Amino acid sequence: MSLKTIGVLGIGEMGTAVAKLLHDNGVRVVTTLDGRSAKTKTNAATAGVEDLGSLGEVVKVSDLVLSMLSSKVAQQVAHLVGQTAKDLGVHSMYGEFNAIAPTTVQTIEKDIGDMMDVVDGGIVGGPNNLLAATFYLSGPRAYEVAALSDFGFNTRVLGDVVGQASGMKLCYAGMTKGLSTMALDLLLAAGSLGVDGPVLEQYQRSMSGVLEFINRFVPGNPKRAVRRSEEMPEVATMIDSLGFDGSIHRAAYERMKWLGHLELDTDGFPDAASVAHHIINQKKRK
Amino acid sequence: MSLKTIGVLGIGEMGTAVAKLLHDNGVRVVTTLDGRSAKTKTNAATAGVEDLGSLGEVVKVSDLVLSMLSSKVAQQVAHLVGQTAKDLGVHSMYGEFNAIAPTTVQTIEKDIGDMMDVVDGGIVGGPNNLLAATFYLSGPRAYEVAALSDFGFNTRVLGDVVGQASGMKLCYAGMTKGLSTMALDLLLAAGSLGVDGPVLEQYQRSMSGVLEFINRFVPGNPKRAVRRSEEMPEVATMIDSLGFDGSIHRAAYERMKWLGHLELDTDGFPDAASVAHHIINQKKRK
């Protein structure tokens, strides 16, 4: 089956970027925007997405339905799509592209796999530079979705097991988000004690690559903390379900939520230490 | 006051290395080995340390008493030294060189500060390469202890506040140990899912410096997990006491203890992923 019509559920930042690249490459992109905001409707139209008005229509015409929503609603939406496909007697592919634990994708496969062939997807990279992102894929029909590469996407099939692509994504996200969250806590301590200078020098001397990453990643964290935190419980769930213990990532999730509640915008700050100082100063003022 | 005689409490790996360097540079190094093992007594003798037989004798003759024991007994030993100094009417310097939270060093200062001037010390570096280590110091008399540089030590005074040097040390140790523990959990997941190849490639592409550090640090972790874990609750205590939240490091502590209980020796393993695979295989066998 070729990918002539693709349904995109979730016209957020990533959904819009993906839809636009598909549309620009000749794919018919459809969705349903029932009850969505005017802004979302404008975004969809700009990206060339047709609003078919109902999930039934989207499922009926799509060769592939991509779910790119929030981790929180992934199971619920998949169930709804599966039911819709059953009611319509449609059998096509469901790309589960949310950042969720492998076991959650496997649960979805069990739930809807009789109607929709689930392809597990994990996107590493952001919507602002989609051509540099990698779309990891796994599952028995992953190779069919890998044909997205015809439309400019970097795709990579990891295997035929649903869960591998989402696991790959979470092992990456867990590192970027866990490390940056842990580092910020340490820099909050170092800054409070007035020793962040020597601490940073010591990081530079003994682990310069780590410091470089922290300085690159931490400034963008506060503004995106709520969204970026969403996948952290999924990372913990993944590690737990494999017989280990994801406690560090559960703790990092709580810290990321805390960061989000500060409602700070530190985009453009030069490094992690300046973000830490900003937070310390905010705290003093209160 | 010059440092002619130095008492070293704790003839472990680091204590022995420090004592030997001092002795080799003409310092009289004393300790008390009452009730210690024959091995420790041999180590002390080899390093040129005089066993004076009692804490009283050590406190009486030392210009500086260095505490380099385990974090767990730091407060107790300091209290004993303070009491001994009081009984003897001796007033000298106490170098608190254990890896403990700044607030704990400050508690020690309050406890014994009327008899012993506390100098806060934090050692970054290992006993095997002592000349490359840095001895961070803080407190009103830190500059006097900085004279250790006369004997080949790299010393650096951070300020006159007791707590700064230990804080510096913990902000460094928290990063090395926290990051390596977190990374191992993620690689245990990646290896279990059969996607550690792509995960490592993605780390290499997006955060090569982090991967390099992990590969350097993780192989030595299992064997040293019990000892390395000791300072992790101190890191958490430090962050908490400054008004933030050290939960990530508390979680990392539990994971490090778990690693220690596996009783593995992965020294010489080429990278973090091979350590993860070793653990996964051990688990399968059980």
**Confidence check: pLDDT of A259 > 60:** yes
pLDDT at B70: 86
- A169-205 confidence digits (pLDDT tens): 999 999 999 999 999 999 999 999 999 999 999 999 9
Token code pair at residue A116: 């929709």
Q: Contact A252/B179 with Cβ under 8 angstroms?
A: no
**B189 contacts A170? CB cut-off 8 A:** yes
> How close A107 gets to chain B, by Cα (Å)?
16
Interface test with A, best of B171, B179, B212, B259 (most A CBs within 10 A): B171
Give the C-alpha separation, B125 to B133, whole Å. Answer: 4
**A210 contacts B179? CB cut-off 8 A:** yes
Kindly state the greatest CA–CA separation across chain B.
66
> How close A247 gets to chain B, by Cα (Å)?
6
**Would you mind telling me the total number of residues written for chain B in this entry?**
286
pLDDT band at A285 (very low <50, low <70, confident <90, very high): confident
pLDDT at A1: 57
pLDDT at B1: 57
Q: Contact A249/A236 with Cβ under 8 angstroms?
A: yes
**Confidence check: pLDDT of A225 > 80:** yes
Mean pLDDT, chain A, as a whole number? 96
pLDDT at A50: 97
Contacts of B183 in chain A (CB under 8 A): 175
Q: Is the dihedral of CA B149, B152, B158, B160 positive or negative?
A: negative
User: Which residue, among B140, B147, B142, B136, has the nearest Cα to B172 in the 3D structure?
Assistant: B136
Interface test with A, best of B185, B240, B285 (most A CBs within 10 A): B185
**A185 contacts B244? CB cut-off 8 A:** yes
Q: Is the dihedral of CA A96, A100, A102, A107 positive or negative?
A: negative
Token code pair at residue A180: 């940056």
Which among B172, B193, B206 has CB closest to A164?
Answer: B193
B5-161, which class in CATH? alpha beta
**B258 contacts A195? CB cut-off 8 A:** no
Which residues of chain B carry a pLDDT beneath 70? 1
Which among A163, A198, A251 has CB closest to B247?
Answer: A251
> How close A218 gets to chain B, by Cα (Å)?
13
Which among A102, A198, A211 has CB closest to B168?
Answer: A198
DSSP code at position B224:
H
A168-285, which class in CATH? mainly alpha
> How close A257 gets to chain B, by Cα (Å)?
12
ipTM score? 0.94
**A255 contacts B245? CB cut-off 8 A:** yes
Interface test with B, best of A106, A154, A168 (most B CBs within 10 A): A168
| Buried/exposed A104-135: b ≥16 CB within 10 Å, e otherwise | bbbebbebbeebbbbbbbbbbbebeebeebbb
> How close A210 gets to chain B, by Cα (Å)?
5
**A192 contacts B243? CB cut-off 8 A:** yes
Domains A5-161 and A168-285 share a fold: no
> How close B61 gets to chain A, by Cα (Å)?
34
Q: Which residue of A has its CA nearest to B215?
A: A207
**Confidence check: pLDDT of A40 > 80:** yes
The CA-atom distances, in angstroms, between B20 and each of A108, A224, B17, B67, B137 are: 63, 52, 5, 15, 20
What is the residue extent of each domain of chain A?
5-161, 168-285
The CA-atom distances, in angstroms, between A43 and each of A137, A263, B67 are: 27, 25, 65
The size of the A-B interface in CB pairs under 8 A is 195
Kindly write down the DSSP assignment for every residue of A254-285, as one continuous string: HHHHHHHHT----TT-SSHHHHHHHHHHHHHH
Q: Which residue of B has its CA nearest to A210?
A: B210
- A92-127 confidence digits (pLDDT tens): 999 999 999 999 999 999 999 999 999 999 999 999
DSSP code at position A10:
-
**A186 contacts B182? CB cut-off 8 A:** no
CA dihedral A56, A60, A61, A67 (to 10 degrees): 60
Give the C-alpha separation, B246 to A55, whole Å. Answer: 45
> How close A169 gets to chain B, by Cα (Å)?
8
Contacts of A163 in chain B (CB under 8 A): 193
User: Which residue, among A190, A242, A47, has the nearest Cα to B165 in the 3D structure?
Assistant: A190
pLDDT at A125: 93
Average pLDDT over residues A24-33: 97
**Confidence check: pLDDT of A138 > 70:** yes
The separation between CA A129 and the C-alpha centre of its own chain, rounded to angstroms, equals: 14
